[in-house]
Amino acid sequence: MGGPEVAKVTPWGRARVSSNEEWGRFVKRIIILGVGGNCVDILDAIFEINEGSPAPRYECVGFLDDDPQTLGRKFAGVPVLGSLLKANEYPDCVFVNGIGSPENFWKKSEIIARTGVPDARFETIVHPTASVSRLAVLGPGCVVLQNATIASCARLGRHVIVLPNSIVSHDCTVGDFTCIAGGASISGGVVIGASCYLGANSAIKGNLRIGDGSLIGMGAVVLRDVSENTVVVGNPARRLRSTR
């Protein structure tokens, strides 16, 4: 995991990066990387954070995406400003990443690196309906969406995304760039490597280890450790193939 800063959970159940200015001092200009469904969900979370705060915390400036067909389009009223390489043209903005799917999850670190934006300028976004223990630690650039639960002493690395209704139980460790899809349930003490993808409604037995770069299929029930760069599916989960 690592990184220069970690985001600590406030008593309001939301997260902020410890090096940022004091709560509520100014409205942060934020840009979302990507325009897919997760990216619009992040935008929705930003809207909800603003509505639940005494004063707006964010102004969403726009999206950045490498698909030229999205340029100039608007999603939920917010424009696509250009490709990811345009990030360096917005030195006054913070960023959050929404790119990552079962088709490209192992490339997430490369995608973020292409922007040239340091971790200190990535914001941690926690939807107001999520439950995040004050004993949990979230790395820079994390996203926790609607009704997700992050339990006590869980540690999420950099740029981890937790989609709606997922559970990360006590004492879990989630590696950098990992995506936890909707409804996934991770039991206590699980160690998940970097750049993994846990499919929707998958379940992980307690105290297991999931290797770097692995994909857990939708609805899979994992009862044994998973080696790195491995795809597992089914109930009980079995090896299908290598990730790449």
Between CA 45 and CA 209 the distance in angstroms is: 31
Look at residue 8 and tell me if it is in a domain: no
How far is residue 186 CA from its own chain's centroid?
A: 16
Same structural domain, 109 and 44: yes
Look at residue 11 and tell me if it is in a domain: no
Look at residue 10 and tell me if it is in a domain: no
Quick check: 84 and 99 in contact, CB under 8 A? no
Same structural domain, 133 and 100: no
Look at residue 5 and tell me if it is in a domain: no
Enter the pTM of the model. Answer: 0.88
Distant-in-sequence, close-in-space partners of 14: CB < 8 Å, separation ≥ 6: 49, 126, 128, 132
User: Which residue among 67, 89, 121 closes a domain?
Assistant: 121
How many domains does the chain fold into?
A: 2
**φ, ψ (nearest 5 deg) of residue 167:** -125, 125
Number of other residues whose CB lies within 10 A of the CB of residue 114: 15
Same structural domain, 113 and 147: no
Please say if the pLDDT value at position 116 is more than 50.
yes
User: Which residue among 91, 121, 151 closes a domain?
Assistant: 121
pLDDT band at 88 (very low <50, low <70, confident <90, very high): very high
pLDDT mean across residues, the chain: 91
Between CA 164 and CA 145 the distance in angstroms is: 5
**Domain limits for position 167:** 126-242
User: Which residue among 63, 88, 121 closes a domain?
Assistant: 121
Look at residue 224 and tell me if it is in a domain: yes
Distant-in-sequence, close-in-space partners of 61: CB < 8 Å, separation ≥ 6: 29, 30, 31, 78, 81, 90, 93
CATH number at residue 159: 2.160.10.10
Same structural domain, 101 and 136: no
Same structural domain, 73 and 175: no
Between CA 39 and CA 76 the distance in angstroms is: 11
Same structural domain, 117 and 132: no
Range of lowest pLDDT (19-33, 109-123, 136-150, 221-235): 19-33
Collapsing DSSP to helix, strand or coil, 96 comes out as strand
Q: What pLDDT shows up at residue 25?
A: 57
Let me know the angle formed at the C-alpha of 1 by 64 and 31, rounded to the nearest 5 degrees. Answer: 15
